[in-house]
């Protein structure tokens, strides 16, 4: 297959690109590097099947040649990033998604939409099933991201219903691993970087809120299972292991050998209190389940950040 990966120079997109190339597909990464970096795909520059196009997908663009699949991962994803870029986040979720849907339609390709557990907002149903419609504040501090993704899903289903476009929609739950930016701002990278630097880990609120963390390799394996299937979705792909932020801080403190402790900072507005995927559909219809538990995934991720920080210091 020849696959266009929008957002392919980001954290998840670059791992997805690696996996597609590894199995023999060709990949065209389309990215404007607003939160990603060409460094994330620099190791692929001499690969015959790899092409990198610098492009903002909210602007008109064309890709020459046949395309079999368009995968839309383009969007700021860290709360820190989408708070700094609210208009860009809404634009990429609306105009950007529409441009990529048109690209898929014109090329007779299937379309893959990277949505998010944030469509469930601060959920009243726990764990979250795909049939739950969510509890999102439409004008709140996270609305530029949550509503952009909800709109992307609606747009994707409108193309599916009116144009018979083959689509796949994944709802991604908190994923972590190598190639997250040191200043990404999400909790796993923040805690690891703070632990390695000997700084106190910053817990927002009282640390009783929960998240379910998926290692990047498991997540990408789920993407490919969905892409290759006939399942339209939406499908939750995430690790159902659920941890409070206090528990996460404890594990990262131990694994980084930090002795700086923790500090409590204010909880951001509308921060979801709990999050855990119900993965029945992924398990039964895709034969997918995560394999890497949190401790193992952190043990694989910490050396990456130690290397980056070592380079920065050195």
Q: Could you give the residue numbers annotated as active site?
A: 145
Q: Are 90 and 144 in contact (CB under 8 A)?
A: yes
Cα 60 off chain centre by: 24
Nearer to ligand UDP, 179 or 211 (CB): 211
Under the criterion CB under 6 A, does residue 28 sit at the interface with ligand NAD?
Answer: no
What SS3 class is residue 240? coil
Q: Are 121 and 146 in contact (CB under 8 A)?
A: yes
Q: Which does 76 bind (CB under 5 to 8 A by kind): ligand UDP, ligand NAD, none?
A: ligand NAD
Q: How far is the CB of 190 from ligand UDP (least distance, A)?
A: 4
CA distance 14 to 30: 11
Under the criterion CB under 6 A, does residue 12 sit at the interface with ligand NAD?
Answer: yes
Q: How far is the CB of 232 from ligand UDP (least distance, A)?
A: 25
Size of the chain, expressed as the number of residues it contains: 314
Of the candidates 173, 45, 31, 55, the one whose C-alpha atom is nearest the C-alpha of residue 116 is 173
Under the criterion CB under 6 A, does residue 9 sit at the interface with ligand NAD?
Answer: yes
Nearer to ligand NAD, 107 or 258 (CB): 107
The phi, psi pair for 8, rounded to 5°, reads -75, -10
What SS3 class is residue 211? strand
Under the criterion CB under 6 A, does residue 175 sit at the interface with ligand UDP?
Answer: no
Of the candidates 155, 138, 118, the one whose C-alpha atom is nearest the C-alpha of residue 275 is 118
Q: Which stretch binds ligand UDP (CB under 6 A): 38-46, 93-101, 183-191, 232-240?
A: 183-191
Interaction site with ligand UDP (CB under 6 A): 79, 174, 186-187, 190, 202-204, 209, 211, 245, 268, 271
Which residues here bind ligand NAD, judged by CB under 6 A? Answer: 6-7, 9-13, 31-36, 56-58, 73-77, 92, 96, 114, 116, 172, 174-175
């Amino acid at each position: 297959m020849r696959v266009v990966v929008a957002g392919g120079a980001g954290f998840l997109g670059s791992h997805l690109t690696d996996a597609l190339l590894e199995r023999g597909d060709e990949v065209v990464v389309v990215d404007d590097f607003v939160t990603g970096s060409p460094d994330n795909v620099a190791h692929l520059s001499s690969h015959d099947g790899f092409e990198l196009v610098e492009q903002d997908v909210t602007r008109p663009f064309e890709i020459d040649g046949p395309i079999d699949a368009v995968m839309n991962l383009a969007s700021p994803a860290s709360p820190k990033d989408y708070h700094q870029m609210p208009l860009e986040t809404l634009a990429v979720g609306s105009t950007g998604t529409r441009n990529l849907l048109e690209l898929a339609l014109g090329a007779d390709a299937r379309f893959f939409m990277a949505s998010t557990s944030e469509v469930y907002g601060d959920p009243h149903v726990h764990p979250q099933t795909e049939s739950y419609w969510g509890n999102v504040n439409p004008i709140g501090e996270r609305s530029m991201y949550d509503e952009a993704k909800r709109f992307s899903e609606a747009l994707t289903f409108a193309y599916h219903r009116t144009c018979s476009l083959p689509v796949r929609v994944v709802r991604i739950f908190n994923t972590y691993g190598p190639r997250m930016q040191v200043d990404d701002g999400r909790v796993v990278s923040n805690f690891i970087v703070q632990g390695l630097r000997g700084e106190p880990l910053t817990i927002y609120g009282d640390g009783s809120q929960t998240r379910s963390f998926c290692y990047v390799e498991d997540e990408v394996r789920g993407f490919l299972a969905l892409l290759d299937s006939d399942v339209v979705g939406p499908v939750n792909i995430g690790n159902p292991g659920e941890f409070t932020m206090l528990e996460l801080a404890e594990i990262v403190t131990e694994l980084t050998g930090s002795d700086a402790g923790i500090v409590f900072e204010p909880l951001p507005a509308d921060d979801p209190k709990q999050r855990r995927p119900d993965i029945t559909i992924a398990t039964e219809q895709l034969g997918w389940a995560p394999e890497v538990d949190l401790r193992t995934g952190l043990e694989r991720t910490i050396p990456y950040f130690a290397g980056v920080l070592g380079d920065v210091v050195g």
